[in-house]
Amino acid sequence: MARHKYLPIFTAMPMALTLSMTTYGRAATGNGAPFVIAIGADNTGLDPETVMNNESGFVMAAIYDNLVEYKSGSTEVGPGLADKWEVSKDGKTYTFHLHRGILFHDGTPCDAGAIVAWLDRLLNKGNPNFYANKAGVDSYVDFTFHGVDSYKKTDDQTVVIHMDKPNAEFLNSLAMVWSGVTSPAAVAKYGAEYYKHPVGTGPFKFVEWVPNDHVTLEANTTFWKGKPKLGKLIYRIIPESAVRVMELTKGTVDVLADVSPADSAILASNKNVHVIVEPGLMVNGLALPTQTKPFNDPLVRQALNYAVDKDTLNKYLFKGLATTMNSPLPPSQWGYDKTLPGYPYNPEKAKQLLAKAGYPNGFNATIYVYPNPRGYNPIGGATLGQALQADLKKVGVNITLQQLEWGAYLAKVRSKDFSDMCLAGWSGDNGDPDNFVGALWETSQIPSGNLSHYSNKDFDALVAQGVSISDFKARLGLYAKAQRLLMKDAPWVFINYASTIRAHTTKVHGLVLNPTTMFFDMDKVSKD
Amino acid sequence: MLNFIARRLLHAIPVLLGVSAIVFFGMHVIPGDVAQMILGDKATPQALAHLREQLGLNQSIFIQYWKFISHACAGDFGQSLRTQNPVWQDIWTAFPVTVQLSVLSLLLALAIGIPVGVRAAVERNGWFDNLAMVAVLVGISMPVFWIGLILMIVVGVRFDLLPISGLLSDSISLQRITGMSIVDSLIAHDLEALVDTVKHLILPVVTLATIPTAVIARITRMAMLDVLKQDYIRTAWAKGLRYYPITYYHALKNALIPVITVTGLQFGALLGGAILTETVFGLPGLGRLAVNSILYRDYPEVQGIVMMASAVFVLVNLIVDVLYAVVDPRIRLDREVEP
């Protein structure tokens, strides 16, 4: 009979909850508060040689060091765990001299023995903890270490790596976040579970990983380059980009790792937020089937390059967050030649070239496009395809667009007998020029990387020489030639370099955006 | 009663088998090469071939399905391709988060929906009834995603009253025991964490509760209108009973059957709504896990999650049926077997 007494509880409960929140303050901020980096998706493991996704890389860059490391904000390689190194004249033997007294977070010394143990886990199938022992491993190991046939320590601070043929990309690949040096003791201790218990020598130590929620790191106070300025570093996973933006404007998050072009405009108008915009380590273009008529004529390929209005595309479709390609290398890549003229928009010249090639009335052709946005093409393949279609129509080239879902698209454009135009793009892996010119246009890369089936003996010779000599200046000369040759031969319509965008609150200092987008040098970052 | 429950559990087997077939073949119909999706566009042909081999993708789809089913029967849903953990472990980590969110939302929906429905029925066509039914219509029509973002912008950013994503502030650490942050903070006697997590849960719970609240209010009103017409209610008024005893003790009890049915169905809708709510509010629950797994083509994980969700749904339906008998003694569940 007296049950009605409880009714008020129903209505009071939500009210009580609402009141309680005003009686307790927000969690402490300012000094001692954790430094929070918002990322859009969870990492898939923190064992550097078994993953290839940025979310894992973002975290690992603060945990691990490498034998050699990128200089701040660049793709050029400088000292890391190794103070100095020598490369033999034939380019096959690398000798690394390690910095003395470095310890892993678990106390294991990072000496020559540890480096050899690390290499053995990556290169020796018989090693009980061989990195690829489990299914679905995504790895750069083959890419980085191809050709390595032996590795040994000659004393406690010296490691010698020998390869059967020279690989001049090696140093740049060793600097990738995917080549972080893992503690051999921790690898032995955790075995197949190591990816959940990462131990490196870097500025931050691993504390916990709550899947789909956050990863917490704490300062390695005995870091060999000096104590980090931050105490606690948290990578928070916030899937919705709109929510990440709100968290940054609220100040509950300090850094947004990835910012979409649309969000960049919103954030730029906020005076408490600083947006970093830099040309990314990536290229975006239209691959032309160089073995197929009429595209086998370089005049036609050059004409198409003149016919596309890249600057307008960048300004309106890419909202100013892309710059026109003037070289097959992006500006953040060492070796990039900024003096190359590129192909300024000139539809008249395009028509002349087409006429000269025997197509005064143009021709019909097909472009294959993917629907989704890609890192190097944030507006998506369908939109870009329509813009190209409109520009090419003006010079008499009538385009039919064929759209395929990403997986099917890759299968189509990478088949041997593919002979149409298709959108192409590439994000650099290791910041070595070969990773662009070699991966995208060398004859050996047909049909998977070289989508235009471009084959030029002179060019192949330059690329082959580029990876076989280790002298930096000599390589610069070779890649300068390769760039000029590619621009003249025009296997692609070279479109643009999409920008890499990162945002942080104005309280954050010392954050530098590396072209590979990884959070290197986190020991130098501070917060008011 | 036990007979009834046993029989219903047996019925669940073909249901789960059917679900498994739909999910399995559905995942395989989505275009695109699975190995390519997993390894990305930079994978070498050797790596792709190796992964196809490892995943058994070279075998016929029926053999793959048979392998999946036979392992699943032994309780083994395999290993996640994305997280590399056993599937049950990932589900077990995420499930408590969703349970906490769904249960709180359902409680909130009942706490608001039933009183609103009752009052609307009693004051039929009055101002409260009209207002409530308009609100119900709005509540049902608003997309969960949109409500969540609007609440965030207004309550979280504009007035800065509540946190907008996650389960706990970054400065608070809490030992994970059950995976339900409220329960864990109670176990740890940590008032600060409790308050913090409750603040974090208010917006997602309100968001997720919107639709069930509206549905429950509406069905309560309908059922109450039926009951309030009955003779015994008139008798109750006649003998001088007051508003609360009549509505809540005499009438509501008999109006509860449809409310229970709808609440059970809404629990299924909550699991679906949790996918959006967890994504918007960045909560590490089963819905988020499902979305991530689908995007990554993580077959074993998707299959595990869907099987889990179906099992929960079957179980909730069973509980609903049992509740019928508890609420209404006239309903005898085992009448068929014991005539």
Q: Dihedrals φ, ψ of A56, to 5°?
A: -70, -40
Confidence category of residue B311, pLDDT binned at 50, 70, 90: confident
Give dist(CA B79, CA B273) in Å, integer. Answer: 26
Across the A:B interface, residue pairs with CB atoms under 8 Å apart total: 165
Which residues of chain B neighbour A4 with C-beta distances below 8 Å?
A: 244-245, 248-249
Tell me which residue in A3, A213, A408 faces B249 most closely, judged by beta carbons. A3
Q: Which candidate, A53, A22, A31, places its Cα nearest to that of A429?
A: A53
Residue B333 pLDDT grade (very low, low, confident, very high; cuts 50, 70, 90): low
Average pLDDT over residues B317-339: 71
Give the three-class secondary structure for A270.
coil
Q: How far apart are CA B179 and CA A243, in angstroms?
A: 24
Q: What gap in Å lies between CA A237 and CA A243, rounded to an integer?
A: 11
Q: What would the mean pLDDT of B70-94 be, rounded to a whole number?
A: 84
The whole-number pLDDT of residue A324 equals 96
B84 vs A28: CB contact, 8 Å cut-off?
no
Interface test mutation site (partner B, options A9, A10, A234, max chain B beta carbons within 10 A): A10
Residue A161 — φ and ψ, nearest 5°?
-115, 130
Dist CA B269 CA B214 (whole Å)? 13
* B:87-146 residues touching chain A, CB 8 A cutoff: 90, 93-94, 108, 111-112, 114-115
Beta-strand relationship, A35-39 and A214-219 = unpaired
Given a cut of 50, whether residue A6 has pLDDT beyond it is no
Three-state DSSP class for residue A275? strand
- Per-residue pLDDT of A175-188, as tens digits, reads 999 999 999 999 99
**Is pLDDT at A18 greater than 60 in this prediction?**
no
pLDDT > 70 in chain B, percent = 97
CB B213 within 8 A of CB B139: yes
Confidence of residue B316 (pLDDT cuts 50, 70, 90): confident
How would residue A23 be classed by pLDDT, with cut points 50, 70 and 90? very low
Do the Cβ atoms of A407 and B32 come within 8 Å? Answer: yes
Q: Distances from the Cα of B220 to the Cαs of A1, B263, B309, in angstroms?
A: 21, 10, 27
Q: Note the pLDDT tens digit of each residue in B266-295.
A: 888 888 888 889 989 989 999 889 888 888
Residues of B in contact with A56 (CB under 8 A): none
Contact B287/B277 with Cβ under 8 angstroms? Answer: yes
Arithmetic mean of pLDDT, B318-329: 82
- B167 close contact with A: CB closer than 8 A: yes
In sequence order, what are the residues at sequence separation of 6 or more whose Cβ sits closer than 8 angstroms to the Cβ of residue A258? Answer: A39, A40, A54, A501, A502
* pLDDT tens-digit readout, A113-153: 999 999 999 999 999 999 988 766 778 998 999 999 999 99
- Asked if residue A181 lies in contact with residue A200, where contact means CB atoms within 8 angstroms, the answer is yes
Please report the pLDDT score of residue B31 as a whole number. Answer: 67
Answer whether B87's CB lies under 8 Å from B79's CB. yes
Q: Which residues of B touch A267 (CB under 8 A)?
A: none
**Stretch A10-27: mean pLDDT, rounded?**
35
The whole-angstrom separation of Cα A390 and Cα A397 is 9
Residues 6+ apart with CB under 8 A from B182: B100, B104, B194, B197, B198, B201
Q: Is the pLDDT of residue A354 over 50?
A: yes
Give me the mean pLDDT over the A431-454 stretch.
93
Q: Which of A264, A246, A155, A207 minimizes the C-alpha distance to A501?
A: A264
Nearest to A402 by CA among A390, A417, A420, A415: A420
Comparing C-alpha atoms, which of A108, A27, A30 is closest to residue A526? A30
Nearest partner of A381 among A409, A342, A400, A343, judged by Cα: A409
Whether residue B188 contacts residue B182, with contact meaning beta carbons closer than 8 Å, is answered with no
Among chain B residues, the shortest Cα distance to A207 is held by B173
- Give, as one character, the DSSP assignment of residue A456: -
Q: What is the pLDDT of residues B22-67, one digit of tens each?
A: 888 887 777 667 777 777 777 777 778 887 887 777 888 888 888 8
Which residue type, as a one-letter code, is found at position A108? T
> Contact B51/A135, CB-based, under 8 Å?
yes
Read off the tokens for B233: 């209610």
Residue A32 neighbours by CB under 8 Å, 6+ apart: A231
In 3-state terms chain A splits into helix, strand, coil percentages (rounded to 5) of 35, 20, 45
CB contact under 8 A, A135 and B81: yes
Q: Give residue A210's pLDDT band: very low, low, confident or very high (50, 70, 90).
A: confident
pLDDT band of residue A24 (cuts 50, 70, 90) is: very low
Residues of A in contact with B288 (CB under 8 A): 212, 239
CA–CA min distance B335, chain A (Å): 32
Answer yes or no: do B83 and A45 touch at CB < 8 A. yes
Cα four-point dihedral sign A433, A435, A441, A444:
positive
Residues 6+ apart with CB under 8 A from B73: none
Cis peptide before A447 (omega within 30 of 0): yes
Contacts by A133-136, CB closer than 8 A, 24 or more apart: A133/A192, A134/A50, A134/A192, A134/B84, A135/B51, A135/B54, A135/B55, A135/B79, A135/B81, A136/B38, A136/B51, A136/B54, A136/B55, A136/B81, A136/B84
Note the maximum CA span of chain B. 85
pLDDT tier at B335 (50, 70, 90 boundaries)?
Answer: low
Percent of chain B with pLDDT over 90: 31
Query: What is the structure's pLDDT at A484?
Result: 95
Do the beta carbons of residue A451 and residue A424 sit within 8 Å? yes
Please state the rounded mean pLDDT for residues B93-115: 93
Contact A199, A102 (CB under 8 A): no
For residue A125, what pLDDT is reported?
92
What residues of chain A lie within 8 A of the CB of B96, using their CB?
A: none
Q: What pLDDT was estimated at residue B105? A: 95
Strand residue runs (E) in A325-386: 363-369
Q: Count the Cβ atoms, other than its own, within 10 Å of residue A19.
A: 10
Q: E-assigned strands of A453-514?
A: 492-505, 508-509
Residue type at B331 in one-letter notation: I
Largest CA distance in chain A: 99
Distances (CA, A) of B284 to A237, A284, A522: 9, 35, 27
Cross-chain Cβ contact A3/B282 below 8 Å: no
Chain A, 131 to 190: residues with Cβ < 8 Å from chain B are 134-136, 138-139, 142
How close is the nearest chain B Cα to the Cα of A424, in Å?
11
Whether the pLDDT of residue A333 is over 70: the answer is: yes
Is the CB of residue A396 less than 8 Å from the CB of residue A354?
Answer: yes
The pLDDT value recorded for residue B297 is 79
Region A196-222 average pLDDT: 94
Residue A217 has pLDDT above 60, yes or no: yes
Please report which confidence band the pLDDT of residue A8 belongs to, taking 50, 70 and 90 as the band edges: very low
pLDDT of residue A434: 94
Q: Which amino acid is at A247?
A: E
As a whole number of Å, the end-to-end CA separation of chain A is 62
d(CA A326, CA A484): 10
Find all residues with CB under 8 Å of A17, minimum gap 6, and list them: B198, B202
Q: Which residue does chain B place closest to A12, by CA atoms?
A: B111
Q: B171 and A213: CB-CB below 8 Å?
A: no
| pLDDT, averaged across chain A | 90
pLDDT at residue B83, rounded to an integer: 77
Determine the Cα–Cα distance for residues B108 and A182; give it in Å rounded to an integer.
49
CA dist., res. B130 & res. B33, Å (int) = 54
Residue A153, CB-side half-sphere exposure with 13 Å CA sphere: 16
Task: Of B299, B111, B153, give the one whose Cα is nearest residue A135.
Answer: B299
pLDDT digits (tens, 9 = 90+) for A106-121: 999 999 999 999 999 9
Structure tokens at B217: 């209010």
| CB within 8 Å of chain A, chain B residues 1-20 | none
Mean of pLDDT over chain B: 86
Look at residue A32 in the predicted model and tell me its pLDDT.
Answer: 66
In whole angstroms, how far apart are CA B18 and each of A374, B21, B268, B270, B301? 37, 5, 17, 22, 18
Tokens representing A117 are 């143990």
> How far does CA A449 lie from the centroid of its chain?
17
**Better-predicted residue by pLDDT, A311 or B339:** A311
Q: What are phi and psi of A69, to 5 degrees?
A: -135, 155
Distance CA B203, CA A61 (A): 34
Contact A410 B45 (CB under 8 A): no
Q: With 60 as the cut, is the pLDDT of residue A167 above it? A: yes
B248 touches chain A (CB under 8 A): yes
Confidence of residue A30 (pLDDT cuts 50, 70, 90): very low
What is the spatial distance between Cα B307 and Cα B15, in angstroms, rounded to a whole number? 10
What pLDDT is recorded for position A136? 66
Does residue B117 have a pLDDT over 60? yes
CB-CB contact of B266 with B212 (8 Å): yes
Residue B177 pLDDT: 84
8 Å CB contact between A180 and A194? no
User: In sequence order, what E strands does A252-384 have?
Assistant: 255-256, 273-279, 282-287, 322-324, 363-369
Segment A43-53 mean pLDDT = 91
Look up tokens 């890192």; give the residue: A375
Could you tell me if A388 and A308 are in contact, meaning their C-beta atoms sit under 8 angstroms apart?
Answer: yes
Residue A482 clears pLDDT 70, i.e. is over it = yes
Reported as a pLDDT band with limits 50, 70 and 90, residue B309 is confident
Other CB atoms within 10 A of residue B124 CB = 13
